[in-house]
Structure 1
Amino acid sequence: MKAETSIMAPETIPALLTHAARRHAGTAALEEDGELIDYAELPGRVADVARGLLAVGVEPGDRVAIWAPNEVRWVLAALAIHSVGAVLVPLNTRMKGREASDILARSGARLLFHAGDFLGQDYAALLDGLIPSSLTHRVLVSERGAPGHEGLIAWEAFLDGGREVPEEEVALRAAAVRPEHLSDLLFTSGTTGQPKGVMSEHGQNLRAFGEYSRIIGLRPGDRYLIINPFFHAFGYKAGWLSCLLAGATILPQAVFDAAEVLERIDRERISVLPGPPTLYLSLLSDPRLAAADLGSLRVAVTGSSSIPPVLVRRMRDELGFEVVTTAYGLTECGGLATICDPGEDAETIAHTSGRAIPGTEVSIRDTAGRHLPAGESGEVCLRGFHVMRGYFDSPDATAEAIDEEGWLHTGDVGSLDERGNLRITGRLKDMFIVGGFNCYPAEIEAMLLEHPEVAQCAVIGVPDERMGEVGCAFIVPRGSEAPELEALIAWSRERMANYKVPRHVRVVERLPVNASNKVMKPVLQEIYRSA
């Protein structure tokens, strides 16, 4: 019999949980604020949550949402959702009530795990009057914030409700999960305005991030500080799911604070620390860096934007990483399509996103759909096992994104070099990225148009030294008086996630339009640059 050596042997997430418990017993799976959960006890802790789900009637295929920052209970809840054959729906922690309610309604979520409060927001209060009819239960996952809202179940009470459910029922549900079953719906706007649920399968996720774990050299006993949010593929799939694949320890971090991260690296001997380039730049510029012991750091993975080669060298020389690499992916392909060989030179790692993972093809296409040779720029198209099944309840949008030959049209512009390394050079659409978060003008414009003093608006992304890009809104007033700009921004902060809020506002008499009456955003870019 062949020895068990592959970290990709399990084909479903419930099977992975059992596999990891047997293989990595004696190693901490999760650590937070002094709480330690060993791999051997993790299945039991997950089963306690799963029994609570069965007690309230969650069925295979039901959607169950999580709206909370990175914490141990997020992982326990997610694994329980997977274990009963339900589908995980993560919600962005920066969303306001209407945004969260929209996704809960369109996903048909039956149960929501959510935080009490986070960053000054009372999550239960945000949903007052906005709870969709499909949502029958809400569970408070954190101790922050009292469960003083009607219908909100405290975490311990939820677990108590499942005590009468036999553990064998959880085992039967877990055994019934198949690789082709849906594991999650991650909502993204893709290349259009309204967020859509990307359908990903158990087998896809495990195969892709088994490759990721192998390439970056993630190994048993690694201590992985996960700052990337769990609601995003970078924190979920490249984060705690990859830890389970490799036997690494998951250490959640709710928000990034350079001083706190430096202290945790020193105190908790962190060895793996992925994140956007701004994370490493913040650490390098922090005055406490010189006094911190960073000798445990080993692996860094970054993305979201191109990085200068000098940063790669500084990450190796000043932060002490042995492995520094970059990767590319989008939600529609599970979050991973290409990754750089860590042995490449700093120039290649900084300027490209590496080559396609095994089982994946990358093709650069022109506007007519023809394949372009190395060195020529066009739309980045992907094909392979990891491409989404489609958008949830959106067959038209799915057909628009995936052509008849199975190619996913990403909307990104890039080129391939002679060795197959992908270089991203732009975006076909006008999406912009604020601190690693995708922003879609159509979605922001729709919300701004609800302001009583706004007649028309158009949003573009403009350069920002700290965030990479931020939004600039061009506003046509409804009346003779323009809205007060600071008040408009404050109004926006109450209605949309902070990264979506325009940092700049320009009042104009009219928006430039073409013969089809469509706003010419390149003209707005030029107006902004001229000003």
Structure 2
Amino acid sequence: MLNPKGSSNPTTKYDDKEHIWSGARQHGFYNEGLTIGQIIFRQLQREPQRIFQISHTDNTRLTRWQMLENASKMGAYLREQKCIKETDIVGLMARNTTHVAAVAYGCLFNGTPFHAVNPNLEEKTIRDLYNITKPRILCCDSQDYEKIKDIAGTLGATVLIVNGKVPHVSSVPEILRTALNGNYEPSEFPGGINRTMAILCSSGTTGTPKAVTISNSRKLFECHSYLSPNDVQYAPSTLDWLTGLISLVTAGVYGTVRLISSEMFSPAHFLEICEQNEMSWTIMANSHVAMLANCPQTKAQKLRSLQHLLFAGGHCLVATLRKMQSFLHGQGILRNAYGLTELGALVSYNYDTQSKPESVGRLLANIRVRIVDAAGQNLSVSGVGEILLHNGQPWSGYFGNPKATAEMQDSAGWFHTGDIGYFDEDNYLHIVERKKDMLKYLGMMYYPHEIEEVIAQMPDVSEVCVFGLWREQEGDAAAASVVLRPSSQVQAFEVEIFVREHISVPFKHLHGGVQIVQQLAKSANGKVNRQAVKADYIKRFAST
């Protein structure tokens, strides 16, 4: 089935004997010997004068030819530095400015994995991550040089400044001012599809992020084959998050216009660049959708160019989805995307966020899913258990961490997500909650999301995060941090009363209390950090 914007609604089949759900079978278009870098290199040669990248922050525009030339110079530089092996890593800790794509594409051309780390992380976390992969070259913005210089010294790594200037430190713009010697061609590798392309960070909401290897698998971009050179793509996330990598690769493969900004996401900024640049495609965190839907400045006219608004990273409340849909010009634009960094791809799409707002949709091509109980037995339709994924693609695991790799992917290739969910009778996947987020109060199990959905029904609530406060005799008492819409006068006790009136079972009431906050703590890429919200709640109440 085609949605109004021309992309197909995925089909999912259920094997009632094996109790396994499968997306459509699809054969890859590209030779498996090619890397994604080789594919992008050829694409950038087509229509060389077309605009390929617009930087809102830097006020720059690059054609395909300019991007190809810049990326080729970076690839040639890496060859000169003898970055040949798959373990010759480039650390990339930079915001979305003009030359970030040239650095990343240059790595792809050369077959050199880049390890992307968010520059807003604490220095200790950055140090821990780069101590795992030990990059030979560290690329950063000038404002983050002090964070990285000691790490580079310990590793014996060269530092390159991507944006800005640091005295006596080499920079990417200096490399781009040099001439290319001869006709540059990207590197070739046997079985290029399985070579590690990038190393990203796990979400890190439950501890120090892990270094997740991403191969040259086509699954990173094939589900976005509806894109064309007429599309303008934007993602607020940096390259350390899967959505940032997806936008980088799909722009290169499909020749779209890549719109970037180094500013952190805000509804006002998003509305501005969307309207100015006629943005047609975006992928953002679920919390960004909540911020946008509840922003007084959001108007349908400002979003009229959007044809694909994907959100990922967690639940979006039903009331928020309905409000966001009211600003969009048609059905099928607002889509919930479920993915896994370790899988290096999206797993499912939900085009039906109106009729099935609590689902993450049907499976994408070549994805298989099992729902298993505590004993590892496959469950049937409506059975709630852990979600296991399989994409038929080899995975190199967490860099330098075989123990964690074995815990994530079993010997048969199934990824153990830690997400709890089920399939309905229409083969739509539903995520109930993270396995680690399940709470118990007075012996009764519950999930924070169940209570969040109820609180979100209050007209004055913009965002909400529920968590458990441990009490020795009772267990996890539910507590909530709530963000209100502008000018709201709702009090914390009113939220507690609302939950008691709308949830019949006492163990799901807010026995841990409520606090009204200006904003919820989020990860660097916009995902609500439940543990950080909880820590802030405990700190505030401890000081009163």
Pick from 188, 207, 216 the counterpart of residue 219 of structure 2. Answer: 207
Let me know the Cα RMSD of the aligned residues.
Answer: 3.5
Deviation at 1:187, TM superposition (A): 2.5
**CA separation of 1:41 and 1:414: change in aligned 2, threshold 3 A:** same
Partner in structure 2 of residue 186 of structure 1: 200
Q: Report the 3-state secondary structure (helix = DSSP H, G, I; strand = E; otherwise coil) of the residue aligned with 1:403.
A: coil
**CA separation of 1:175 and 1:59: change in aligned 2, threshold 3 A:** closer
Partner in structure 1 of residue 119 of structure 2: 93
Where in structure 2 are the equivalents of 1:255-404 lying within 5 Å? 255-290=264-299, 293-320=302-329, 323-340=333-350, 342=351, 344=352, 346-348=354-356, 350-386=357-393, 388-404=395-411
Deviation at 1:191, TM superposition (A): 9.2
Partner in structure 2 of residue 409 of structure 1: 416
Deviation at 1:345, TM superposition (A): 5.5
Deviation at 1:111, TM superposition (A): 0.5
Contact 2:312/2:339, CA 8 A, preserved across alignment: no
Partner in structure 1 of residue 106 of structure 2: 80
Contact 2:53/2:61, CA 8 A, preserved across alignment: yes
Q: List runs of 5+ in structure 1 lacking aligned partners.
A: 1-5, 118-122, 442-458, 468-492, 508-526
Pick from 183, 196, 210 the counterpart of residue 210 of structure 2. Answer: 196
**CA separation of 1:259 and 1:210: change in aligned 2, threshold 3 A:** same
Distance 2:408 2:316 in 1: 28
Q: Report the 3-state secondary structure (helix = DSSP H, G, I; strand = E; otherwise coil) of the residue aligned with 2:111.
A: coil
Distance 2:242 2:477 in 1: 25
Question: Which deviations, in whole Å up to 9, do the C-alpha atoms of 1:18-56 show, x marking residues without a partner?
Answer: 232244544322111432222244321211122222233
Pick from 173, 190, 194 the counterpart of residue 156 of structure 1. Answer: 173
Distance 1:291 1:424 in 2: 29
Contact 1:226/1:250, CA 8 A, preserved across alignment: no
Q: Report the 3-state secondary structure (helix = DSSP H, G, I; strand = E; otherwise coil) of the residue aligned with 2:413.
A: coil
Distance 1:26 1:398 in 2: 44
Contact 1:309/1:347, CA 8 A, preserved across alignment: no
Question: Which deviations, in whole Å up to 9, do the C-alpha atoms of 1:100-130 show, x marking residues without a partner?
Answer: 122112102110110112xxxxx11123534
**CA separation of 1:95 and 1:167: change in aligned 2, threshold 3 A:** farther
The code of the aligned residue for 1:115 comes to D
Q: Report the 3-state secondary structure (helix = DSSP H, G, I; strand = E; otherwise coil) of the residue aligned with 2:336.
A: strand
Where in structure 2 are the equivalents of 1:47-62 lying within 5 Å? 47-61=72-86, 62=88
**CA separation of 1:85 and 1:176: change in aligned 2, threshold 3 A:** farther
**CA separation of 1:324 and 1:130: change in aligned 2, threshold 3 A:** same
Deviation at 1:12, TM superposition (A): 1.8
Partner in structure 1 of residue 227 of structure 2: 218
State yes or no: 1:504 paired with 2:529. no
Pick from 139, 148, 160 the counterpart of residue 127 of structure 1. Answer: 148
Contact 1:334/1:387, CA 8 A, preserved across alignment: no
> Number of matched residues?
435
Contact 1:188/1:196, CA 8 A, preserved across alignment: yes
Contact 1:47/1:167, CA 8 A, preserved across alignment: no
Deviation at 1:66, TM superposition (A): 0.6
Question: Which deviations, in whole Å up to 9, do the C-alpha atoms of 1:218-254 show, x marking residues without a partner?
Answer: 22211112212222001112x1212223221111122
Distance 1:384 1:139 in 2: 36
Pick from 26, 34, 38 the counterpart of residue 63 of structure 2. Answer: 38
Q: Report the 3-state secondary structure (helix = DSSP H, G, I; strand = E; otherwise coil) of the residue aligned with 1:347.
A: coil
The code of the aligned residue for 2:248 comes to W
Q: Report the 3-state secondary structure (helix = DSSP H, G, I; strand = E; otherwise coil) of the residue aligned with 1:47.
A: helix
State yes or no: 1:464 paired with 2:481. yes
Deviation at 1:304, TM superposition (A): 2.0
Partner in structure 1 of residue 241 of structure 2: 232
Distance 1:8 1:22 in 2: 19
The code of the aligned residue for 2:359 comes to T
Distance 1:225 1:386 in 2: 28
Distance 2:227 2:309 in 1: 11
Deviation at 1:132, TM superposition (A): 5.5
Contact 1:224/1:272, CA 8 A, preserved across alignment: yes
Deviation at 1:300, TM superposition (A): 0.5
Q: Report the 3-state secondary structure (helix = DSSP H, G, I; strand = E; otherwise coil) of the residue aligned with 2:200.
A: strand
Q: TM-score, normalised by structure 1?
A: 0.73
Q: List runs of 5+ in structure 2 lacking aligned partners.
A: 1-26, 439-447, 450-461, 469-475, 485-522
Pick from 166, 172, 181 the counterpart of residue 147 of structure 1. Answer: 166
Partner in structure 1 of residue 6 of structure 2: none
The code of the aligned residue for 2:119 comes to T
Contact 1:65/1:113, CA 8 A, preserved across alignment: yes
Deviation at 1:183, TM superposition (A): 0.3
Distance 1:427 1:196 in 2: 18
Partner in structure 1 of residue 261 of structure 2: 253
Question: Which deviations, in whole Å up to 9, do the C-alpha atoms of 1:42-73 show, x marking residues without a partner?
Answer: 32121112222223332231110110112231
